[in-house]
Structure 1
Amino acid sequence: MEAAAALCLALALALRALAQPAPGGRLQRGAAEMFLEKYGYFETPAPRMHSPAQFRAAVREFQWVTHLPVSGVLDASTVHQMSLPRCGVNDAESHTAWAKRVHAVFSGRRAKARRRRRFAQQSGKWYKRHLSYRIVNWPWYLPQHQVQLAVKAAFELWSNVSSLVFWEAQDGPADIRLTFFHGDHNDGLGNAFDGPGGALAHAFFPRRGEAHFDSDERWSLHSSKGRNLFIVAAHEIGHTLGLEHSPVKSALMSPYYKKLSKDFVLSWDDILAVQNLYGKPSKGSAVQLPGKVFAHFQDWSRTFPGGTQQQGRHVSYYCHSFFDAITVDADHNLYIFKGNHYWLVSKRGNATEPQPLQTRWAGLPAGIDAATWSEADGKFYFFKGGRCWRYKGSTMEAGFPQKCSASNLPRHPNAALYFQQLHHLVLFKGPKYYVDDQYWKFDQGKLQVVMTGKWATQLPWMGCWDVNSSQTLL
């Protein structure tokens, strides 16, 4: 385990160092070679350095797969691409698989038969059409029922365009298992997870049927926050069905996870690949849905199964999960925002039932990034994406929403507050974040953090009375 952790740490540090200048490019070359070998860009591994010709060929292949200018030179854009989060499955067959699939489009049935044999020999396939899956565990800060919805939708992406049918097994054995792991988890040195960034997940081809996710990532069911669990799960499920990585930029099976948009989640290449293995839907035609349908799984259900009664008090739904934003008004009432609802918590720690945002702040979208009440003017400020809202009470003021860039404010801020010493609103955004079960107490006089702990169990004014006697949220 120590060796695996050391290898992953060395690789992570080396890739991070790629962005730094190095004498003669030796450090860049070495780190890039580790990356290219890990993800299958050399035909055979070498005990030391590969030849300059082999290295240039591997760089060209990587640039082609990732849609960069094909030069064979380790330039800044190539270094940056290598540093981005991605799938941990290697890309060894991406170029060949894509070339053969494109060739088959123009070559008819004989080529199609050859392509079917290639998939069966290389990655394997399931020799049945009804497959069970099981979610073994999930991040503590994500509600179980919403994780189940996201995973179910990820499987349905593939069943909608093929002859496959999936059903969830609550316990016991299953054909496909989804599990969250930390660091080395007995998959071999190359598959040990490396914390935030790097490889987010990996999966195994049929018939092992496993998809593993890095538990140290900040997973989210929201399209613009953290690592989107739905899109990563859908990608890894593709591998468990026998699909290789695709060099098509818009493909779900691209080695670098796509972002949700108004376009279809699956590309023509994804559909062609799965239908080559399992055929078309047995009834009707393939069904495609745009990415915007899957943007916010936290809004798919208006029920709040996480709300429970403990010692005579109601434990609010947000106590079992993370929330989008938080602020406090002049009367010390706490406002907690999640999805398209908010909770009002009195200074004694008593929380209301969830209230729809639209009933209090008409025109405010779900899933805001940050919110604050200003002591200077007594108004509420909300931020989402590149837009800002300002309300006097429940009335949106003229000229809002407006672009945050007009006031030189960032997109997708992490948090906002009114800072008394500065007499201004302060927005936070940066490359680092902390796990959501923690709080930090900041002394405004000393300008330093003086206390930290778990907000749900140690701050009674959050309204999470006795949320867990076992010290775990889920």
Structure 2
Amino acid sequence: MAARVSLLLRALPLLLWGGLDAQLSERRGQELRREAEAFLEKYGYLSEQVPKDLTAARFGNAIREFQRVSQLPISGVLDPATLRQMTRPRCGVADTDGQAAWTKRVSALFAGRRAKMRRKKRFAKQGSKWYKQHLSYRLVNWPQHLPEPAVRGAVRAAFQLWSNVSALEFWEAPATVPADIRLTFFQGDHNDGLGNAFDGPGGALAHAFLPRRGEAHFDRDERWSLSRRRRGRNLFVVLAHEIGHTLGLRHSPAPRALMAPYYKRLGRDALLSWDDVLAVQGLYGKPQGGSVAIQLPGKLFTDFEAWDPHRPQGRRPEIQGPKYCHSSFDAITVEPRPLQERWAGLPPHIEAAAVSLDSGDFYFFKGSRCWRFRGPKPVWGSPQLCRAGGLPRHPDAALFFPPLGRLILFKGARYYVLARDGLQVEPYYPRGLKDWGGVPEEVSGALPRPDGSVIFFRDDHYWRLDQARLQATASGRWAAELPWMGCWHANSGGALF
């Protein structure tokens, strides 16, 4: 984010041999203090613009706060250890409010559930969290010297790290649709202001913005590494840390926290500290079914390049199969197939599709418009406005449900039953999705199967519904567990958790 404290770097060898007064001139001492003041202001320890007559007391208090967050002996003096800490590569996000949020979390541990509920309300300020739990992301680019599959694997694992301990779920958005969170590598000044310009190896390695903007930026010129056999900064740790910021998490002063200002080292200890888990659960709640993967050790994430499917290392079979096996899809009808190949005239990014098992006609939905095809030919001369019949705009999925002989649309937490051969919602609908026991919200597709079940899809997961009981009886990853999807080799040996 900021230029490195170059004067401090030059002064360190001298400081290690003696005290500030003994080895440096008064002028050099003044330069070091100005550099330290700029650092403390940049990272939130001097909240107002540094005045020329900054008092020694205020400067000392800022030093003490920095030493407390950095786990240094608290002296209030600009000693060699404090100067050395200021020169270490770190996150470019300011440390503002981190201590206060940490204090609230610690208090909640001892004050019980009521205090925890009050803390949750205070913590969720406007713009500091996402008001949804299903988020998309995009990796815009990556360092040229790292293989793309390894970087994508590290990104996927970094998001999974947070979803394992919270109610959040993430999916990688296709390049043609907007994404909630964007990860980009930049060089130098990249229109974030001169204070956020990257400066090559060292200094600030990355910075991120809270949920209102949903971006994380990384220094493209840094010596990044995703392999234990290479020297360089571990990109996975930096990715996981900056993603935490995009979710609304501040820096933590807790020992060994992933969200500490200075990036955690991978080792045998748990990758997330108790404070990291409390922070993300305070914003988004616990995962359904309880937390299952809090104690993931860092040693699991030391060699992403070994997972590169394009390198013949024998550890992972090469990923094969259609392109959709390695991404998500918008809608599904009878079989996985690009829509425009069969139904000419359909726009891209259809949001829902279904086939009537009575007439064999195909129905497609996008926004407030709908299309009907008999075979490859349209039944209607032009798309219809289906809003007039009470249908929802931008439906999540469509399904022909054999027991009713009707089309059903799903949108969020509700579903709509359509009249036979028409675009009119039946009376007494919509109803709540709880009627479909265990089917999640925001599904991307639904498909009746010959065995009498219905398969619901969302991202890389599926849910199998018993039609008679209207109850989900199984779930899993569709690419790896549903052979008729044609993805026999997808995810082979690639599961991270």
Q: TM-score, normalised by structure 1?
A: 0.61
Give CA deviations for 1:383-430 in whole Å, capped at 9, x if unaligned. Answer: xxxxxxxxxxxxxxxxxxxxxxxxxxxxxxxxxxxxxxxxxxxxxxxx
Q: Any residues of structure 2 matched to 1:56-455 within 5 Å, and which?
A: 56-121=60-125, 124-172=128-176, 173-223=178-228, 225-288=231-294, 289-301=296-308, 303-304=310-311
Give CA deviations for 1:108-151 in whole Å, capped at 9, x if unaligned. Answer: 23321232123211761011111000000001111111110000
AA paired with 1:39? Y
Give CA deviations for 1:35-57 in whole Å, capped at 9, x if unaligned. Answer: 10100001322242421111000
What secondary structure sits across from 2:171 in the alignment?
strand
> Distance between the aligned counterparts of 2:135 and 2:43, measured in 1?
29
2:92 touches 2:196 (CA, 8 Å); kept in 1?
yes
- CA displacement at 1:302 relative to structure 2: 5.6
Paired residue for 1:12? 5
Report sequence identity in percent.
62
Inter-CA distance 83–69: structure 2 relative to 1 (3 Å threshold): same
Instruction: Give the unaligned 5+ runs of structure 1.
Output: 307-474
> Distance between the aligned counterparts of 1:49 and 1:215, measured in 2?
38
- CA displacement at 1:300 relative to structure 2: 2.4
Give CA deviations for 1:60-104 in whole Å, capped at 9, x if unaligned. Answer: 000000010000001010000000000000011121111111011
1:119 touches 1:242 (CA, 8 Å); kept in 2?
no
The more displaced of 129-138 and 114-123 is 114-123
> Distance between the aligned counterparts of 1:221 and 1:285, measured in 2?
27
Q: From the CA coordinates, give the structure whose radius of gyration is larger.
A: 2
2:227 touches 2:306 (CA, 8 Å); kept in 1?
no
- CA displacement at 1:18 relative to structure 2: 4.2
> Distance between the aligned counterparts of 1:178 and 1:305, measured in 2?
28
Give CA deviations for 1:235-266 in whole Å, capped at 9, x if unaligned. Answer: 00000000000001210000000000011110
> Distance between the aligned counterparts of 2:222 and 2:44, measured in 1?
24
Paired residue for 2:24? 22
Inter-CA distance 194–12: structure 2 relative to 1 (3 Å threshold): farther
- CA displacement at 1:156 relative to structure 2: 0.4
Instruction: Give the unaligned 5+ runs of structure 2.
Output: 15-22, 314-497
AA paired with 2:164? N
Give CA deviations for 1:441-469 in whole Å, capped at 9, x if unaligned. Answer: xxxxxxxxxxxxxxxxxxxxxxxxxxxxx
Paired residue for 1:393? none
Pairwise CA RMSD? 1.9
What secondary structure sits across from 2:86 in the alignment?
helix
AA paired with 1:297? F
> Distance between the aligned counterparts of 1:242 and 1:114, measured in 2?
18
> Distance between the aligned counterparts of 2:24 and 2:96, measured in 1?
29
The more displaced of 177-186 and 22-31 is 22-31
What secondary structure sits across from 1:106 in the alignment?
helix
What secondary structure sits across from 2:5 in the alignment?
helix
Paired residue for 1:423? none
Inter-CA distance 88–254: structure 2 relative to 1 (3 Å threshold): same
What secondary structure sits across from 2:124 in the alignment?
helix
What secondary structure sits across from 1:15 in the alignment?
helix
Inter-CA distance 285–153: structure 2 relative to 1 (3 Å threshold): same
> Distance between the aligned counterparts of 1:112 and 1:296, measured in 2?
38
Count of paired positions: 299
> Distance between the aligned counterparts of 1:209 and 1:177, measured in 2?
6
The more displaced of 69-78 and 94-103 is 94-103
Inter-CA distance 114–50: structure 2 relative to 1 (3 Å threshold): farther
AA paired with 1:265? L
What secondary structure sits across from 1:110 in the alignment?
helix
The more displaced of 44-53 and 129-138 is 44-53
Paired residue for 1:386? none
1:119 touches 1:277 (CA, 8 Å); kept in 2?
yes
Inter-CA distance 123–266: structure 2 relative to 1 (3 Å threshold): farther
Q: TM-score, normalised by structure 2?
A: 0.58
> Distance between the aligned counterparts of 1:301 and 1:17, measured in 2?
40
2:70 touches 2:253 (CA, 8 Å); kept in 1?
yes
Paired residue for 2:38? 34
> Distance between the aligned counterparts of 1:196 and 1:49, measured in 2?
34
Moved over 6 A (4+): none
What secondary structure sits across from 2:35 in the alignment?
helix
> Distance between the aligned counterparts of 1:236 and 1:228, measured in 2?
13
Inter-CA distance 142–305: structure 2 relative to 1 (3 Å threshold): farther
> Distance between the aligned counterparts of 2:232 and 2:264, measured in 1?
14
